[in-house]
Amino acid sequence: MKLSVFSSKPYDRKYFEAANAARKASEIDIVYHEFSLGKDTVFLAKGSDAVCVFVNDALGPAIVEALARDGVKAILLRCAGFNGVDLEAAEKHGLLVANVPSYSPEAVAEFAVALIQTLNRHTHRAYNRVREGNFALDGLLGRTLHGKTVGIIGTGKIGLATARIMKGFGCRVIAYDPFPSPAFSELGDYQTLEELLPASDIISLHCPLMASTRYIVNEQTISKMKPGVMLVNTSRGGLIDTKAVVRALKSRHLGSLALDVYEGESSLFYDDHSGEIIDDDVLMRLTTFHNVIVCGHQAFFTEEALKEIADCTLRNMEEYAATGMCKNSLTRDAKIKRRDSLPVRNV
Ligand code: NAI
């Protein structure tokens, strides 16, 4: 079996090589490409049984069609979010799309909480000050989190893990999710979005990016939030209308903002642009606010998560090759259409 891994970094390679070596009998022939999968690079997938892509690889209908034409049978996402792949096109062409649904929800939740703590107690500013010999406390005043209300939007695996940690801090946790989970009901109360927005001191986004959630944070929803609210997004950039958020920061309505994801991240994140002029004025404006933290989509980035991502991706490939099915499939009928065309192996 041959797998072409796109947008790969040395750390991906390290964990994929280790996961593959551990397989012995069913070792997979893996080819690593540093660049993303797109119209200029899709030809490199030819001859592969599957491609493996990451969060910012955009697999629209034309790319999916090209993959199918070149004999690729599966698109393996080494992430949970699947907004980058046109699932309908994949189904149409009989390609399996599978993800890694849960590699370490705690890793992302812990990072969201790290951002909350940093914004609240200004440790990012304190770090710089002390290095300059400035030990003044002005501007570093925080608020005790105990007793504050945290609004979680999306109570899946990560939202739930975040709620548990914040509950441990003594916060009141409330949530909005169109599909409520009994596990969250043990921690706090579900509310409508309209109720949650004005009631929360901190709002943390943990829902997927879909047509229905795109710009869930916009001019109108921001206006309903409590003045001085802290907004944290470790989910997907497209959940936030960033220009509206910049306006809310300028008007002082939004108290602080932490982004691990950004709607224009695909052309910037995961690469070093420090020697270039960055054209994105919205992102650059964000970096000028003292009460804004922007990180480059790193919430998942722990040793444990990378190990599970590599293991699970190879398991997905093996399972599909052996049975024509995959429990992490995001496409409904691909497994049926392609079942007979895959090399069957014992796993
Ligand atoms: P999940 O699928 O377990 O949970 C998502 C939850 O969002 C579900 O409970 C669902 O009912 C809810 N939801 C759906 N539509 C909603 C809406 N309109 N409003 C509110 N909630 C809604 O997903 P999980 O694992 O918790 O991941 C959440 C998101 O985190 C992923 O979609 C991904 O985009 C992002 N992510 C970010 C990472 C990072 O490194 N920054 C790493 C991993 C995931």
Q: Are residues 45 and 142 in the same domain?
A: no
Closest C-alpha to ligand 1, atom 37: 235
CB of residue 135 inside a 6 A radius of ligand 1: no
Give burial (CB, 10 Å; 0-12/13-18/19+) of 132: exposed
For ligand 1, the distance from its centroid to the CA atom of residue 173, given in whole angstroms, is 17
What pLDDT does 334 receive?
Answer: 56
What CATH number is given to the structural domain containing 163?
3.40.50.720
CB of residue 237 inside a 6 A radius of ligand 1: no
Q: Are residues 153 and 277 in the same domain?
A: yes
Pocket test for ligand 1, best of 12, 85, 177 (most atoms within 8 A of CB): 177
For ligand 1, the distance from its centroid to the CA atom of residue 23, given in whole angstroms, is 31
In terms of DSSP H, where are the helices of 176-268?
Answer: 182-185, 193-199, 219-224, 242-250
Q: Is residue 344 part of a domain?
A: no
Q: Are residues 113 and 251 in the same domain?
A: yes
What pLDDT does 76 receive?
Answer: 98
- Count of residues making up the chain: 347
172: part of which helix (H) or strand (E)? strand 172-176
Mean local confidence (pLDDT), 174-197:
98
Residue 343's pLDDT band (cuts 50, 70, 90): very low
CB of residue 305 inside a 6 A radius of ligand 1: no
Residue 161 has pLDDT above 50, yes or no: yes
Q: Model confidence over 268-285: pLDDT tens digits? A: 999 999 999 999 999 999
Q: Is residue 345 part of a domain?
A: no
Q: Is residue 346 part of a domain?
A: no
Q: Are residues 15 and 122 in the same domain?
A: no
Distances (CA, A) of 17 to 22, 23, 176: 9, 10, 40
Number of domain units in the chain: 2
Catalytic residues: 236, 265
Q: Are residues 313 and 260 in the same domain?
A: no
Q: Is residue 166 part of a domain?
A: yes
Angle at 209 between CA 305 and CA 294, to 5 degrees: 65
Among 21-30, 75-84, 149-158, name the one with the lowest average pLDDT: 21-30
N-to-C CA span, the chain: 12
Instruction: Give me the residue label for tokens 């989509």.
Output: 297
Residue 347 has pLDDT above 60, yes or no: no
Distance CA 231, CA 106 (A): 19
Closest C-alpha to ligand 1, atom 1: 156
Counting from 1 in the atom list of ligand 1, the atom nearest the Cα of 158 is 26
CB of residue 179 inside a 6 A radius of ligand 1: yes
> What sign does the CA torsion over 109, 113, 114, 116 have?
positive
Q: Are residues 255 and 280 in the same domain?
A: yes
Which residue range(s) make up the domain with 26? 2-103+303-337
Contacts of 210 (CB under 8 A, 6+ apart): 83
CB of residue 176 inside a 6 A radius of ligand 1: yes
Residue 27's pLDDT band (cuts 50, 70, 90): confident
Alpha carbon 224 to chain centroid, angstroms = 26
Distance CA 247, CA 59 (A): 32
Mean local confidence (pLDDT), 118-122:
98
> What tokens appear for 89 in the block?
């096109």
For ligand 1, the distance from its centroid to the CA atom of residue 62, given in whole angstroms, is 27
C-alpha closest to that of 109 among 152, 56, 144:
152
DSSP 91-149: HHTT-EEE----S-HHHHHHHHHHHHHHHHHTHHHHHHHHHTT----TT------TT-E
Q: Are residues 260 and 158 in the same domain?
A: yes
Distance CA 1, CA 26 (A): 9
Residue 9 carries which DSSP code? -
Q: Are residues 179 and 285 in the same domain?
A: yes
Q: Are residues 282 and 308 in the same domain?
A: no
Q: Model confidence over 71-109: pLDDT tens digits? A: 999 999 999 989 999 999 999 999 999 999 999 999 999
What pLDDT does 344 receive?
Answer: 33
Pocket test for ligand 1, best of 235, 259, 308 (most atoms within 8 A of CB): 235
Q: Are residues 186 and 277 in the same domain?
A: yes
> What tokens appear for 101 in the block?
């649904």
> What tokens appear for 264 in the block?
């224009």
Q: Is residue 85 part of a domain?
A: yes
Q: Are residues 169 and 277 in the same domain?
A: yes
Q: Are residues 212 and 274 in the same domain?
A: yes
Q: Is residue 342 part of a domain?
A: no
175: part of which helix (H) or strand (E)? strand 172-176
Beta bridge partners of 96: 74
For ligand 1, the distance from its centroid to the CA atom of residue 163, given in whole angstroms, is 13
Q: Is residue 318 part of a domain?
A: yes
CB of residue 157 inside a 6 A radius of ligand 1: yes
Closest C-alpha to ligand 1, atom 32: 208
CB of residue 178 inside a 6 A radius of ligand 1: yes
310: part of which helix (H) or strand (E)? helix 303-323
CB of residue 306 inside a 6 A radius of ligand 1: no
